[in-house]
């Protein structure tokens, strides 16, 4: 870090009471990705009050604290906030980590062995399975591959 002396600044914009964003992170098990629990703090006097709220609610969780750069009205849960953020404290524990988010495997029940995807309508239809909800029904492969 370097400190450079400067003259008093006349900022283009300033906010006396910005909203703060808090991200709490929990890792369910070692090797799993961290799970996010996010909050917006509104009507906050200053960063000290925001840090006090974080301290009361962290319960040992890793956290990040941000100041929002622009005013954004409150919205119902599930509505993403779009304003830019300035990180004040903490870091994202998922940053730079490659973690498996999920895996898709083709799993066929025993009754489906010997069946294949087909557009042929002259074959007997079999019950659809999970892998065929997108592709359509499975049909009995009478003629072979």
pLDDT tens for the chain, residues 1 to 145: 998 888 887 777 777 778 999 999 999 888 888 899 999 999 999 999 999 999 999 999 999 999 998 888 888 888 888 899 999 999 999 887 665 656 666 665 555 555 455 444 444 444 444 444 444 444 444 444 4
Task: Report CA-CA distances (Å) from 68 to 95, 116, 132.
Answer: 20, 54, 45
Residues 64 and 126 in one domain: no
Are 115 and 86 in the same domain? no
N residues, the chain: 145
Range of the domain at 117: 110-140
| φ and ψ of 135, to 5 deg | -85, -15
- CA 62 to chain centroid, in Å, comes to 16
Do 70 and 116 lie in a common domain?
Answer: no
CA distance 32 to 113: 34
The answer to the question of residue 105 being in a domain is no
Give the dihedral sign, CA 116/121/127/132: positive
In a domain, 9, yes or no: no
| Domain shared by 86 and 122, yes or no | no
Q: Total domain count for the chain?
A: 2
Residue 39: Cβ-neighbour burial (10 angstroms; 0-12, 13-18, 19+): middle
């Amino acid at each position: 870090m370097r400190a450079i002396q400067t003259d008093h600044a006349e900022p283009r914009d300033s906010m006396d009471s910005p909203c703060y964003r808090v991200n709490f992170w929990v890792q369910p098990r070692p090797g799993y990705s961290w799970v996010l629990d996010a909050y917006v703090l509104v009507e906050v006097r200053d960063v000290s009050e925001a840090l006090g709220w974080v301290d009361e609610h962290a319960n040992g969780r890793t956290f990040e604290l941000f100041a929002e750069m622009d005013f954004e009205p409150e919205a119902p849960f599930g509505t993403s906030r779009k304003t830019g953020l300035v990180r004040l404290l903490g870091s994202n524990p998922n940053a730079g980590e490659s973690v498996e988010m999920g895996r898709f495997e083709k799993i066929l029940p025993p009754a489906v062995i010997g069946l294949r995807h087909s557009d042929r309508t002259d074959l007997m239809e079999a019950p659809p399975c999970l892998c065929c909800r997108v592709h359509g029904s499975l049909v009995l492969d009478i003629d072979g591959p």
